[in-house]
Amino acid sequence: MDFGFSGEYTMVQKMYRDFAEKEIKPIASEIDEAERFPKENVEKMAKMGMLGIPFPEAYGGEEGDYLSYVFAVEELSKVCASTGVTLSAHTSLCAAPVYDWGTEEQKQKYLTRLASGACLGAFGLTEPNAGTDASRQRTTAIREGSHYILNGSKCFITNAGEADIYVIMAMTDPEKGSRGISAFIVEKDFSGFSVGKHEKKMGIRGSATAELIFEKCIVPAENLLGEEGQGFKIAMHTLDGGRIGIAAQALGIAEGALNEAVAYVKLREQFGRNLASFQNTQFVIADMANQIEAARLLVYRAAWCKDNRQPYSTASAHAKLFAAETAMSVATRCVQLLGGYGYTREYPLERMMRDAKITQIYEGTSEVQRMVISREVLK
């Protein structure tokens, strides 16, 4: 068992940290305030190869592993969770299923554009009536000659409107229930595809979240991802990987919040001494650091399982559940440490607290993670 990173991983981590500190952090609060999607961040990440971290060079990727990708999401989320999820949704939810399930032609056509950063990706599963119960898809796909015709809508889609390529789930055979769902690659310019209402959110306000609308949307038959009826399996498998990305985002938020709070308590003086010298502060900080350390081990282990072709469904559920709960509780306690200042928008902690909440909800709520874990424990 080896818990030590090689110099290579340390360098990779530092490289993403430098990038996040210099390029992303300076605008994090502005994009939150303005609820603006930072296209410039995506361009910068693309230039640095960050949009194709775990994919082979042959498809325009960086030939890295999942752990390196986790580092990237973690470092981004330390300073800007919105940018973290933008990368996570693109990589784990769009590029990854194309890589895992796509034909050679599909990979050449779509993965190369996604991994090289020429295009941004998104993933559409959730519908107004199909959230946690994702098998109740109402969006339909009917085969007509060389095309499928998609009708229906998706909601809460990360990167919606900003992405060029979407992996979309739709019912091809309603009789078969979840086995009647299929996955499709949809380009933003396909006829009948449009982006609907943009959500006004509590947190991650610099990320784009909107509705996708399919009105007789024409998708070429060769854009079927996997086989007909494999959609639900593809979606679940994709979410297993996606959860590691969100777990990394949650870990990053918690670390970022702790960093801010630590800097503050060292400076802030009350009753003639700095806050760091009070035992309450010390204990709260120790507990937070302790939880973060545990979350980090779970998140890195989940990535390690995926990299080493071990089963990672339960590992990623463990990682996401613990990291998300840690992010929420750490961010809340950090706001408390800053008191009134923590509540104001002068400091980034209230933003981090708002951002943390979503990690307990999307890509499988904490309750869903508990279902996955208990199923494994009680089997």
Partner 1 sequence: MPNPDYQGVWACLDQADGKISGVSLEVLSAARRLADMLSVQASAVLLGHSVDGLAAEAFAYGADRVYVCDDEKLKDYRAATYGKALESLIRSYRPAIILFGATNNGHDLASRLAGSLGTGLCTNCVRLQQNEEGMLIASRPVYGGSLMENVACGGARPWLYTIHQNAMEPLEPQDGKTGDIIPVKMELEEEDACAKVLKIIPAILGEISLTDAQIIVSGGRGLGDAKGFTLIQELADTLHAAVGASRAAVDAGWIPYAHQVGQTGKTVSPRLYIACGISGALQHLAGMKNSDVIVAVNRDENAPIFSAANYGIVGDLYQVIPVMIEEFKKVMAGR
Partner 2 sequence: MNIMVCIKQVLDNASVPKLDPATGRVVTEGVETIANPFDLNALEGALRLTDVHGGEVSVITVGNEECKTVLKLGLAMGAAHAYLVKAPDGQEQDSWSVSYLLSRAITSLGPFDLVLCGKQAIDDDSAQVGGSIARLLNMTQVTYVEEIQEVSSESITVKRAGNSGSEIIAARLPALLTCEKSLGEPRYPTLKRTRMANRVDIPALDCTEIGADPDRAGALVKVQMVYAPEPRQRGELLRGEPEEITRLAVARLVEQKII
Site for partner 1, rule CB under 8 A: 22, 26, 264, 267-268, 341, 346
**Taking CB under 8 A as the rule, does residue 12 contact partner 2?**
yes
* Least distance between partner 2 and beta carbon 274 (Å): 13
* Least distance between partner 2 and beta carbon 66 (Å): 12
Structural contact between residues 190 and 147, judged by C-beta atoms closer than 8 angstroms: no
**Taking CB under 8 A as the rule, does residue 2 contact partner 2?**
no
- Specify whether the backbone of 127 is left (phi greater than 0), alpha (psi in -120 to 50) or beta: beta
Listed ranges 6-14, 75-83, 270-278, 368-376: which one lies at the site for partner 2 (CB under 8 A): 6-14
**Taking CB under 8 A as the rule, does residue 270 contact partner 2?**
no
Nearest CB to partner 1, comparing residues 30 and 57: 30
* Least distance between partner 1 and beta carbon 26 (Å): 6
**Can 23 be counted among the known catalytic residues?**
no
SS3 content of the chain, % helix, strand, coil (to 5): 60, 15, 25
Indicate which of partner 1, partner 2, none lies near residue 268 (CB less than 5 to 8 Å, by partner kind): partner 1
Q: Which residues of 103-121 are buried (b: 16+ CB within 10 A; e: fewer)?
A: eeebbebbbbbbbbbebbb
Indicate which of partner 2, partner 1, none lies near residue 267 (CB less than 5 to 8 Å, by partner kind): partner 1
DSSP labels for 155-207? EEEETTTT-SEEEEEEES-GGGGGGGEEEEEEETTSTTEEEEEEPP-SS-TTS
Q: Which residue has the tokens 């630590």?
A: 262
Listed ranges 10-18, 123-131, 147-155, 337-345: which one lies at the site for partner 2 (CB under 8 A): 10-18
Residues 46 to 65 in contact with partner 2, rule: CB under 8 A: 48-49, 53, 57, 62-64
Q: Which amino acid is at 120?
A: L
Nearest CB to partner 2, comparing residues 65 and 355: 65
Number of Cβ within 10 Å of residue 220's Cβ equals 13
Structural contact between residues 114 and 62, judged by C-beta atoms closer than 8 angstroms: no
Q: Cα–Cα distance between 256 and 260 in angstroms, integer?
A: 6
Q: Which of 144, 363, 367, 376 is catalytic?
A: 363
Structural contact between residues 134 and 141, judged by C-beta atoms closer than 8 angstroms: no
* Least distance between partner 1 and beta carbon 267 (Å): 5
Residues carrying an active site annotation: 363
Residue ranges binding partner 2 (CB under 8 A): 6-8, 11-12, 15, 18-19, 48-49, 53, 57, 62-64, 68
